[in-house]
Amino acid sequence: MSSATTAGLSGSDLTRARVARILREPLLGPLAALIVAIIVFSVVSQTFLNPYNLSLILQQSVVVGILAIGQTLIILTSGIDLSIGSVAVLGTIVMAQQAGAGGPILALGATFIVCVVLGAVNGGLVTVLRLPPFIVTLGTFTAIQAATRLLAGSQTYQVPDGVLTLLGTSFRIGGFATTFGVVAMLLVYLFVWYALSQTAWGKHVYAVGGNITASKLSGIKSNRTLFSVYVVTGVIAAIAAWAALGRIPNADPNAYQTANLDTITAVVIGGTSLFGGRGSVIGTLIGTLIVGVLRNGLTQAGVDSLYQNIATGILVIVAVAVDQFARRRSA
């Protein structure tokens, strides 16, 4: 108290403004949550902080972590993608089947084409027919899931070691072993972070999500921006499919059942607003890690996975409540 009064009015005002700005920083909450979770679990479990376990958390986060980048882009445009996980699962089946028929390069190509086309279908329905993304992707999710099972014939497909399992290859940095999949995930984060924060396209994504009317009046080709976001998300789903086969070289039509919702969880916990126009992929990376740390730590502490789901669910609601609160204050 006394130090604030002696510091002079302008000085203390300045400090207060600076503190207020830091408190408004949207990454602060998620980052604090991640740090608290890491501290708590390293106290609870002796093995939590060892390099092997940390590497495991990262590897377990790869598929959802990559998909969550696409989900971030779509949520930034004030949309939502319920189909993103099922697109990636279909991608793994296509990749595995084509690997047997035409070799790994053809398989990769076919997967990218299928995922991009499905992204374009979502994007086309959202922009050309102006349907709500929630309904569009609920429909495509249902259809893609069924199509995947029809295509796979309720079988699973082993993929041969090589290009298709490349992202599962591990390497060491000092005492820390990790996989190319983790590196690929971080590279996609870096790339999309750059595109969102340093290019006009990124500004347009935020603008379209923040206020689509104002964006149009500002001369932004809002439909083109929206469509491109869905196409990019298709590419990201294909990369996730590749990473998934790296992790488990077996394409299973019933795998990653919860991936759709897990990506939304990661995005929301990472501080991106479900109302669009605000958030970042850095937040999503932190959100992905929070979920990964929480699940891993609770497992280490011997907590049943159903309780883990309850914990994750509560976290999502808290994150949305914080977002709502922040929006109401700034409005």
Partner 1 sequence: MTTTTETSVLQARNLVKKYGNVTAINGADFDLRAGEVLAVVGDNGAGKSSLIKALAGALVPDAGEISMNGEKVNFRNTRDARAAGIETVYQDLAVIPALDIATNVFLGREVRRRGIMGTVFRRLDMPRMRAEASGHLADLKIGIKSVNQAVETLSGGQRQGVAVVRAAAFGRGVIIMDEPTAALGVKESGQVIDLIRSIRDRGIPVVLISHDMPHVFEVADRIHVHRLGKRAGVVNPRERTMSEVVALMTGAEQPSEAERAGGV
Shortest spacing between CB 13 and partner 1, in angstroms: 12
- What residues form DSSP beta bridges with 172? 177
Rounded least distance, CB 201 to partner 1, Å: 7
- CB closer to partner 1, 29 vs 246: 29
Is residue 213 close enough to count as binding partner 1 by CB under 8 A?
A: yes
Q: Output 45 or 225, the one with its CB closest to partner 1.
A: 225
Q: What's the maximum distance between 2 C-alpha atoms anywhere in the chain?
A: 78
219 scored as a contact of partner 1 (CB under 8 A) = yes
* 250 strand-pairing partners: 158
Task: Please identify, using beta-carbon distances, which residue of 141 and 189 lies nearer to partner 1.
Answer: 189
User: DSSP letter at 219?
Assistant: T
Do 49 and 177 touch, CB atoms closer than 8 A?
no
211 near partner 1, rule: CB under 8 A: yes
- Do residues 118 and 233 touch, judged by C-beta distance below 8 A? no
**Contacting partner 1 (CB under 8 A), which of 217, 301, 314, 317?**
217
Nearer to partner 1, 142 or 218 (CB): 218
Q: Per CB under 8 A, does 330 bind partner 1?
A: yes
Residues that bind partner 1 (rule: CB under 8 A) add up to a total of 23
CA separation for the pair 229, 212 (Å, rounded): 15
CA distance 83 to 236: 13
Nearer to partner 1, 6 or 213 (CB): 213
Pick from 40, 163, 203, 250 the residue near partner 1 by CB under 8 A: 203
* Other beta carbons less than 10 A from residue 62's beta carbon: 27
Surface-to-core class of residue 128, CB atoms within 10 Å of its CB (0-12 exposed, 13-18 middle, 19+ buried): exposed
Which residue, 58 or 212, has its beta carbon nearer to partner 1? Answer: 212
DSSP code of 164?
G
* Spatial distance between the Cα atoms of 201 and 208, rounded to a whole number of angstroms: 10
- For residue 316, the minimal CB distance to partner 1 (Å) is 22
Binding part of the chain for partner 1, among 36-44, 47-55, 192-200, 261-269 by CB under 8 A, reads 192-200
Under the binding rule (CB under 8 A), the answer on residue 47 touching partner 1 is no
Show the beta-strand stretches assigned E in the chain: 157-158, 170-173, 176-179, 250-251
Asked if 199 interacts with partner 1 (CB under 8 A), we say yes
User: Out of 51, 104, 139, 210, which residue is the one contacting partner 1 (CB under 8 A)?
Assistant: 210
Alpha carbon distance 265, 325 (integer Å):
18
**Residues 81-140 contacting partner 1, CB under 8 A:** none
Q: Which residues inside 239-278 make contact with partner 1, applying CB under 8 A?
A: 277-278
Contact indicator for 127, 227 with CB cutoff of 8 Å: yes
- Which of 98/215 has CB closer to partner 1? 215
For the bound state, the minimum distance from the C-beta of residue 211 to partner 1, rounded and expressed in Å, comes to 5
Q: Which residues of 100-119 are buried (b: 16+ CB within 10 A; e: fewer)?
A: eeeebeebbebbbebbbebb
Between CA 103 and CA 313 the distance in angstroms is: 42
For residues 139-178, which are near partner 1 according to CB under 8 A?
A: none
Q: Does residue 331 interact with partner 1 by CB under 8 A? A: yes
Q: Within 10 A of 88 (CB to CB), how many other CB atoms are there? A: 33
Tell me which of 155, 218, 258, 305 binds partner 1, using CB under 8 A: 218
- Which spans of this chain sit near partner 1 (rule: CB under 8 A)? 194, 198-201, 203-204, 206-207, 210-211, 213-220, 277-278, 330-331
